[in-house]
Structure 1
Amino acid sequence: MIPHHRKELNRAISAIHAAEVGPTEIDLADAPLLAFWQVLLDSRGMSMLFGEVTDHPKLGKTTMTSSRLIAIDREAGWARTISRWYRLGRPFNDLEAELIQACHKAGHDVVSALFDFSPHTPLDADHLDRLLADYVALVRKISLEYPEAKA
């Protein structure tokens, strides 16, 4: 295995382990906040988060897409990517609902709002859960084939 692939495998193993244990209070206190978030799928089949991030250590406050999504707990309000934890604020669906409501107040008969996330595709929760489970299984399989990779 080339060094770059070994490094990425180690990052994935570490992120998976962290997600399985779950975030500590300190992890979440230090985590960037992601508002109006949406899970997206890229053209390679990789899931990621999209949204308005605040307090990101490299990006500050901006609209962003994350590194590969490893785990998400919508109820507890957190997500884990390859690179870090995120605190989840309001989901993108809330923004859609607010826009529809604002259109109604302005006298427009709007039933839905369509947003184009091209070249990415929004993911529903069931599809995402299967995709994340498949990715974790694949990383575990590869790590067994390359035992020098460590969490």
Structure 2
Amino acid sequence: MTPKQRNELNRAIAAISAAERGPTSEELASAPRLDFWQPLLDPGAMPLLFGEVTDHPKLGTTTMTSSRLIAIDRKAGWARTISRWYCLDRPFADFEAEAIETCQKSGYDIRSASFEFAPFVPIVDDAKLGNPPRFNGVQK
């Protein structure tokens, strides 16, 4: 194993351990916020997060895709990737609903909206991912 591979493995193990215990209030208080977020699968079937991030230590405020998604708890409003915790604000479905409402208020007869994430595939049902990663309530 190369030093780079060893480093990535160690980061993944640390992220999984952190996800198993769940975030502390201090970790969430300092975590970047992700708005209009959507879990995705990349072309290699690796889960990640897409969204509008604020207060990211390297990216600041921008649209982004995350590093590998390790765990997500939609109800508690957090996600863990290999690199960090995220506080989850509004899901992407809220953006879709707002887009439809804005179009309707502008006089357009629109009842649905569809957005492409190509080459990514949206994860609608977290249960289809299996374990790991663990979703909607981390389990040991």
TM-score by length of 2: 0.90
Asked if structure 1 preserves the Cα contact closer than 8 Å seen for 2:48 and 2:66, the reply is yes
Q: How many Å apart are 1:130 and its aligned residue?
A: 4.0
Equivalent pairs, count: 134
Superposed, 1:107-122 pairs within 5 Å as 107-122=107-122
Q: How many Å apart are 1:106 and its aligned residue?
A: 2.1
Root-mean-square deviation (Å): 1.4
Larger Rg, first or second structure (1 or 2): 1
SS state at 1:87 partner: strand
Q: Give deviations 1:104-149, integer Å, cap 9, x for gaps.
A: 2222221211111111111112xx334251457xxxxxxxxxxxxx
Structure 1 portions without partners, runs of 5+: 137-151
Structure 2 portions without partners, runs of 5+: 135-140
Per the alignment, residue 6 of structure 1 pairs with 6
More helix by share: 1
Per the alignment, residue 127 of structure 2 pairs with 129
Amino acid at match of 1:112: S
TM-score by length of 1: 0.84
CA distance in 2, matches of 1:51, 1:14: 24
CA distance in 1, matches of 2:98, 2:47: 26
CA distance in 2, matches of 1:115, 1:6: 38
Per the alignment, residue 80 of structure 1 pairs with 80
Per the alignment, residue 66 of structure 1 pairs with 66
CA distance in 2, matches of 1:101, 1:75: 25
Asked if structure 2 preserves the Cα contact closer than 8 Å seen for 1:71 and 1:132, the reply is no
Asked if structure 2 preserves the Cα contact closer than 8 Å seen for 1:70 and 1:132, the reply is no
Deviation above 2 Å: which 4+ runs of structure 1?
128-132
Per the alignment, residue 19 of structure 2 pairs with 19
Label 1:132 to 1:85 Cα distance change in 2 as closer, same or farther (>3 A). farther
CA distance in 1, matches of 2:7, 2:93: 36
Per the alignment, residue 48 of structure 2 pairs with 48
